[in-house]
Amino acid sequence: MISPDIQHWIFDLDGTLTKPVHDFTEIRGMLGLDLDSELGILEQLYELPRAARAPLFARLDAFELELAQTAEPSDGAHALLESLRSRGIRLGIVTRNNDINVDATLKAAGLDGFFDRDQVVTRETGPTPKPDPDGILHLVGRWSIEAERAVMIGNHLIDVEAGRGAGTITVLLDQNGVFEWGRPADFHIESLAELL
Ligand SMILES: [Mg+2]
């Protein structure tokens, strides 16, 4: 499937390396955001005045930390990362989550140790969050490779959009096999084990 020549693998975190638990409609409701907005949760928050934004980010961070602390690895995640690491493949993460929650998630899921901290791009690292390709471009720049030499694996349309925008190979994971956005990626899988 993915050519062995591809030596740089970038993952989304929540719902990709871990089992999906985020209910974004629930989160929008909890934060009092417009449920029908076309904008993502972060983008809706960024539009608010600073004084209104700060307490909502605090609630979001706290809610996501609770989820992080009970994170479970998705099927095949450990075996895949183990295999990639044994082949010397460089591993990165690009996530819309924040630093503390990413660390908590990886630890709870038993996936810490596979990723160097400076190859994990969060919403606090600097680049514009996905679906903007900025975070992926940040990593491939760090690796000094062309984006087409990397693969982006995620469970949401925005992961595919970010990968395509950057120019990577893309893989869309749907652990339920529903593919509600159709099949926009180069490869479509229902389990990370398929990538082994
Ligand atoms: Mg995800």
Q: How far is the CA of 146 from the centre of ligand 1 (A)?
A: 24
Same domain, 128 and 92: yes
Same domain, 80 and 119: yes
Token pair for 60: 């979001």
Q: How far is the CA of 124 from the centre of ligand 1 (A)?
A: 17
Q: How far is the CA of 159 from the centre of ligand 1 (A)?
A: 8
Read off φ and ψ for residue 80, nearest 5 degrees: -65, -50
Query: Does residue 184 lie in a domain region?
Result: yes
Domain span at residue 54 reads 24-69
Q: How far is the CA of 21 from the centre of ligand 1 (A)?
A: 9
Q: What is the domain count for the chain?
A: 2
Listing DSSP states for 146-168 in one string gives -GGGEEEEESSHHHHHHHHHHT-
Q: How far is the CA of 154 from the centre of ligand 1 (A)?
A: 6
Query: Does residue 2 lie in a domain region?
Result: no
Same domain, 93 and 60: no
List, as own/partner pairs, every contact residues 180-183 make where C-beta atoms lie below 8 angstroms and the sequence separation is at least 24, other chains included.
Answer: 181/157
Q: How far is the CA of 28 from the centre of ligand 1 (A)?
A: 16
Q: How far is the CA of 123 from the centre of ligand 1 (A)?
A: 13
Query: Does residue 186 lie in a domain region?
Result: yes
State the alpha helices, DSSP H only, in 37-98: 41-47, 50-69, 77-86
Per-residue pLDDT of the chain (196 residues), as tens digits, is 899 999 999 999 999 999 999 899 999 999 999 999 999 999 999 999 999 999 999 999 999 999 999 999 999 999 999 999 999 999 999 999 999 999 999 999 999 999 999 999 999 999 999 999 999 999 999 999 999 999 999 999 999 999 999 999 999 999 999 999 999 999 999 999 999 8
Same domain, 48 and 136: no
